[in-house]
Structure 1
Amino acid sequence: MSGASEMRDGWRILAGCFVGVSASFASLFFYTSGIFLKPVAETFGWTRGEISLSSIAVLVGNVLAFPVAGRLVDRFGERRVAFLSTLGLGLSFCLLAVLTTGLWIYLILLTLLCCLSSGGNLIPYNRLLTQHFCRLRGLAFGIALGGTSFGAAILPVYLAPYVAEHGWRAGYLLLGGLTVPLALLTFWLIGRPAADTVMSPRDAGLHWSEVVRHRAFRSIGTIVFLAAAAVLGTTLHVIAMLTDQGMTAAEAGALASGLGVAVLAGRVGAGYLLDRWDAGVVTAVLLALVATGMGALATGRPEMILPAILLVGLGVGTEGDILAYLLGRRFPVRNFGTVYGTILSVHAFGAGLGGFVAGALFDLFGSYQVWLSCAAAMLLVAASIAWLTERSVRPLAASAA
């Protein structure tokens, strides 16, 4: 089948994945969490380090939930798991708005949010794309996962001033209400799953322990951990970084929307390149560019803020696509949910740890410069590993674990 035929026959799947990703944890929660960071902390008198414990709560919830969610997607199909998980995300936003009265309750609710929403994150959508696209798989990843630009580019412009005027509780309720129409639209677009890609109760498939022992797990897992810690740990604090420099919430939200533009461009651009060039080379070059952005942001110079944010957004827009692409050529689609969910827990661990360390270093040094320098170094190490281990890699069979 030609690339044009793939796109023509799979447009509903592609559109459904785009909308589903727009309504996922990766879009509605992750890219908006920075907007709530300072208002929630100021309400209860928490330090920047204490509110950054939210990253640990997210870490714990995702690390525990992603492997289970991947298994459920393989067992019951993408459509049902994604729909129920998206509604779970909306319910969790409402609980955050209504029940948050202290730090520990806030952290428990964030952990619950991660558990309820894990099956509607990137796992079911990347599995669908791996199943339906071959010749233009990288581009399909880029277009569909560009749905995160809804949370990265559009929401900050409107949500940041909304929270500043109406409060963070109202902001969480607004996010909760957005999930329902998006979940229904996704459910309709995706349609029924193919019967041969859903495991029967007797088909155990790959176990998590087999995935961890796979020869590709160490190199890809290390790259993913370092990139997630550096890029996503920084993204959590972007709004706080900008307002610390004297910007208003509206100005910071508008500038941070540039991050979303870069996310979309990075996803589509990386997907296009993955279909044409060696994936190891593409990964190494992109990670090196993001490291340059971290270094520029660490200078603190006003004229460097926008180009630095655009480069950081480029990293946010590529790591998930590259991960799915590398895994998709090594494992059969029937096991993709289990495989992707397992390694995505490594991604979540890096992101949560990065966000916490960034906040702790801010409390220790009074600025984010030290963290940004560390993030740049981690990205350069990840780029080096990708260059050394992921170039000219032959697809590995699942049995090679």
Structure 2
Amino acid sequence: MKSLHRAWIVAAVAFVAIIGAAGFRATPGVLITPLQDEFGWSRGTISLAVSVNLMLYGLCAPFAAALMERFGMRRVVSLALLLVAAGSGLTILMTASWQLVALWGVLVGLGTGSMALVFAATLTDRWFVRHRGLVTGVLTAGGATGQLVFLPVLAHLAEMQGWRAAALTVSAAALAVVPLVWFLLRDTPEELGITALGATGPVVRTPGGGAAARALGALRGAARTKSFWYLVVGFAICGASTNGLVGTHFIPAAHDHGMPETVAASLLAVIGIFDIAGTIASGWLSDKVDSRILLTAYYALRGLSLLVLPQLFAATAHPSMLIFIIFYGLDWVATVPPTVALCRKIYGPNGSVVFGWVFASHQIGAAIAATAAGVTRDHLGNYDAAWYGAGLLCLVAAVLSFRIVTRVVPEPGPAAILVG
């Protein structure tokens, strides 16, 4: 009987680690109302902490990818999980809004950002040649699904035992994953004397210079191409319409219409369940279909669904809302596998680091949307303008995705220029 390739074990450990870190990503939507009730902070103030978290979560990504190249995935991911655990646990001691920004925003933002989606991209680059798109989809689903599936548990804890119990639960979950990562995750197949799954031979890896130099050098090269900016703007809109808006404000928006928070949290958990199918299917499709076409379809369909959402809110989860939840779940992070595939195809060996910069734009978009939606709610009394604006932006992202060019034009000599 053929033995299981070690790549699958490494991928399984990474999947669990990503889910563990995703736990804290679930807490903003659950804790907005409890924090507002206990401390009297406005939704705009609380959303600012969410925005700082999302911003750092993204801006760390390109440097984290380079750090993983330099120091190894195991060290970087273990430290990241410890930061998440510390930030979440210390939150229970806070008494002022600036502490929320420092702990929830800065510390946890740095921790989650240090493993983010670049972890999945780096791991699949090193360990998989065959099934690379599929595994990228599975790991991506782990992050988004872990974030959303935690919601009912955290919402129940926050309702029954207070928001501090929810924060401590997330801290414990992140800590529990650290030994698993340290003892079972390995940086490269060559470290174990084997080759990547589907590879014809070992890869000689030579670490580059400093992480910052590597990250900034990849950015300078990619920024000369139009396709990079199409990917950046499109993924910024992706972040705004998922983590920033729906992930952060769906629960309080539903609560505004009389829906209990635990019910709204359960609906987001359903998004997480269907996200598994949608993202894995997207990963499989990205191995077989032009990734530009996939992105165009995903953004267009997401935009149309958001334009309908304001009419679906009610005190109960009626069938039309359930249809939206299922559809949005299938599309939640389906954009990630084709985006990773395009970065890999266009930018070659720097693809993972370039994806880190593209992912940074995702979180910048999410951060802007999180604060903008909170301020919109404070001033207008509802979220309608935020939903409509995000829907229109998704249609813009669909157009930009269709315009991406992946052609490689060779120049005289050993190098080639990537255009588009």
Q: TM-score, normalised by structure 2?
A: 0.85
Please identify, of 85-94 and 177-186, the stretch whose mean Cα deviation from structure 2 is larger.
177-186
Please identify, of 273-282 and 57-66, the stretch whose mean Cα deviation from structure 2 is larger.
57-66
* TM-superposed deviation, 1:274: 0.9
Q: Distance in 1 between matches of 2:336 and 2:66?
A: 19
Distance 1:41 1:266, change over 3 A: same
Distance 1:200 1:220, change over 3 A: closer
Q: Distance in 2 between matches of 1:236 and 1:379?
A: 18
Maintained 8 Å contact 1:152/1:263: no
**Greater Rg, structure 1 or structure 2?**
2
Maintained 8 Å contact 2:61/2:359: yes
Taking only aligned residues, the RMSD between alpha carbons, in angstroms, comes to 2.5
Q: 1:356 aligns with which of 371, 377, 383?
A: 371
Deviations 1:66-113 (Å, cap 9, x if unpaired)?
332222112112121111111111111112122x21111211221122
Maintained 8 Å contact 2:118/2:352: yes
* TM-superposed deviation, 1:316: 2.4
Partner of 2:72: 77
Q: 1:376 aligns with which of 361, 386, 391?
A: 391
Structure 2 counterparts to residues 90-169 of structure 1, below 5 A: 90-98=85-93, 100-109=94-103, 110-169=105-164
* TM-superposed deviation, 1:349: 0.5
Maintained 8 Å contact 1:30/1:236: no
Partner of 1:18: 15
Structure 1 stretches of 4+ with a deviation exceeding 6 A read none
- SS of 1:213 mapped into structure 2: coil
Deviations 1:3-55 (Å, cap 9, x if unpaired)?
xx99845211221221121122xx22223321111111221112222221123
Q: Distance in 1 between matches of 2:113 and 2:223?
A: 20
* TM-superposed deviation, 1:242: 2.0
Partner of 1:258: 270
Partner of 1:230: 241
Partner of 1:211: 222
Q: Distance in 2 between matches of 1:372 and 1:183?
A: 38
* TM-superposed deviation, 1:63: 4.8
Distance 1:353 1:269, change over 3 A: same
Q: Find out whether 1:325 has 2:341 as its counterpart.
A: yes
Q: Distance in 1 between matches of 2:257 and 2:205?
A: 51
Distance 1:395 1:306, change over 3 A: farther
Maintained 8 Å contact 2:27/2:151: yes
Deviations 1:178-218 (Å, cap 9, x if unpaired)?
11222222333322434644615589656133333344311
Distance 1:76 1:162, change over 3 A: same
Partner of 2:308: 296
Q: Distance in 2 between matches of 1:202 and 1:46?
A: 41
Q: Distance in 1 between matches of 2:44 and 2:69?
A: 38
Amino acid at match of 2:336: G
Distance 1:224 1:200, change over 3 A: closer
Q: 2:207 aligns with which of 185, 195, 199?
A: 199
Maintained 8 Å contact 2:70/2:210: no
Count of aligned pairs between the two proteins: 391
Distance 1:332 1:6, change over 3 A: farther
Partner of 1:48: 43
- SS of 2:346 mapped into structure 1: coil
Maintained 8 Å contact 2:345/2:351: no
Please identify, of 182-191 and 355-364, the stretch whose mean Cα deviation from structure 2 is larger.
182-191
Q: Find out whether 1:276 has 2:288 as its counterpart.
A: yes
Deviations 1:231-276 (Å, cap 9, x if unpaired)?
2222211111222222223222222211111221221111111111
Q: Distance in 2 between matches of 1:124 and 1:285?
A: 26
Maintained 8 Å contact 1:293/1:309: no
Q: Distance in 2 between matches of 1:202 and 1:226?
A: 31
Please identify, of 177-186 and 156-165, the stretch whose mean Cα deviation from structure 2 is larger.
177-186
Amino acid at match of 1:67: P
Identity %: 25
Partner of 1:400: 417
Q: 1:189 aligns with which of 180, 184, 193?
A: 184
- SS of 1:140 mapped into structure 2: helix
Q: Distance in 1 between matches of 2:254 and 2:377?
A: 14
